[in-house]
């Protein structure tokens, strides 16, 4: 168990850490990128992903020496320990690396803390828009210093939604029908950026197959705003495995589960 004073200190220090990681990212964008591929030609990693992960790991261990850290770049080729006991920090040093490389925009840096399995602290840094979305479970969700309001509980027919392109083409879990029942379809190419649009009420929902570092931070912030984070067929989420995740308003979830169940 982590007490409230400790979480308040963590929250303060991790916000500072995210602004440092943003600064490092902007500086490195002015130098030539080193780009490598991982599982496929379009699964990229750059020196910035690696340097951000190093910076975040180092600082997290200073802030919380008991931290167990699951980071995209170090964990990518390893089986993730499914144990959620204690303080598990989950980090994505650059979310939307393909956007980062091809667009120099529409990417994020994400950090989350799960305490004994409970989503507790979440941070999504929208680097180019200079906006840090953050939440401490039970203490409200914010963008920079502004408190976010709960988005309206819109229905699927009244909402724009985001769906992963490859899953849509394969019509995974009836996603073409979901898209056709929505007001419109969007794809931004970064889980963090897509979840930010749900937090702001600009999308009614977002679904994609996601790894732990893609969803951990968004789950904390979304739940704090009354949004649901489940699987696309209404199963509870195990944050340390891969799932086809749905982050959406309650009404959008109900409308989608009528299609997928």
Number of other CB atoms surrounding residue 33 within 10 Å: 13
CA 81 vs CA 75, 90, 117: distances in Å: 10, 12, 13
Binding mask 36-55 for its own copies (x = CB under 8 A): -----xx-------------
Check binding of 188 to its own copies (CB under 8 A).
yes
Q: Is 180 in the site for its own copies (CB under 8 A)?
A: yes
- Residue 88: CA count within 13 A, CB half-sphere: 20
Please name which of 188, 180, 175, 187 lies closest in space to residue 157, comparing C-alpha atoms: 180
CA distances to 42, 127, 167 from 147, rounded to whole Å, are 36, 19, 34
Task: Pick between residue 11 and residue 92 the one whose CB is nearest to its own copies.
Answer: 92
100 touching its own copies, by CB under 8 A: no
DSSP 8-class letter at 172: G
Q: Of 14-22, 67-75, 81-89, 198-206, which part binds its own copies (CB under 8 A)?
A: 198-206
Q: How far is the CB of 190 from its own copies (least distance, A)?
A: 10
Q: Does 95 show up as a binding residue in the annotation?
A: yes
Distance CA 255, CA 31 (A): 47
- Window 142-171: contact mask with its own copies (x via CB under 8 A): ---------------x-xx----xx-xx--
Q: Is 234 annotated as a binding residue?
A: no
The single-letter DSSP state of residue 203 is S
Which residues of this protein are in contact with its own copies, per CB under 8 A? 41-42, 98-99, 102-105, 157, 159-160, 165-166, 168-169, 176, 179-180, 183-189, 197, 200, 202-203
Known binding-site residues for Mg(2+) equal: 72, 92, 94-95, 214
């Amino acid at each position: 168990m982590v007490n409230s004073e400790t979480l308040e200190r963590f929250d303060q220090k991790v916000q500072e850490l995210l602004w440092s990681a943003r600064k490092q990212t902007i500086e490195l964008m002015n130098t030539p990128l080193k780009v490598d591929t991982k599982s496929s030609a379009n699964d990229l990693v750059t020196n910035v992903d690696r340097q951000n992960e190093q910076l975040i790991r180092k600082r997290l261990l200073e802030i919380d020496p008991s931290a167990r850290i699951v980071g995209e770049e170090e964990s990518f080729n390893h089986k993730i320990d499914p144990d959620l006991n204690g303080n598990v920090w989950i980090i994505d040093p650059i979310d939307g690396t393909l956007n980062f490389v091809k667009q120099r925009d529409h990417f994020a840096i994400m950090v989350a803390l799960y305490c004994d399995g409970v989503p507790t602290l979440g941070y999504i840094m929208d680097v180019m828009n200079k906006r840090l979305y953050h939440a401490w479970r039970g203490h409200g969700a914010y963008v920079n210093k502004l408190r976010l309001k709960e988005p309206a509980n819109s229905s699927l027919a009244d909402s724009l939604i985001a769906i992963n392109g490859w899953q849509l083409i394969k019509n995974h879990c009836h996603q073409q029908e979901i898209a056709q029942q929505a007001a419109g379809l969007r794809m931004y190419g970064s889980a963090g950026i897509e979840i930010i649009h749900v937090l702001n009420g600009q999308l009614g929902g977002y679904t994609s197959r996601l790894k732990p570092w893609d969803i951990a931070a968004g789950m904390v912030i979304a739940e704090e705003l009354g949004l649901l984070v489940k699987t696309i067929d209404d199963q509870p989420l195990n944050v340390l495995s891969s799932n086809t995740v749905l982050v959406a308003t309650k009404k959008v979830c109900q409308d989608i589960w009528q299609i997928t169940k």
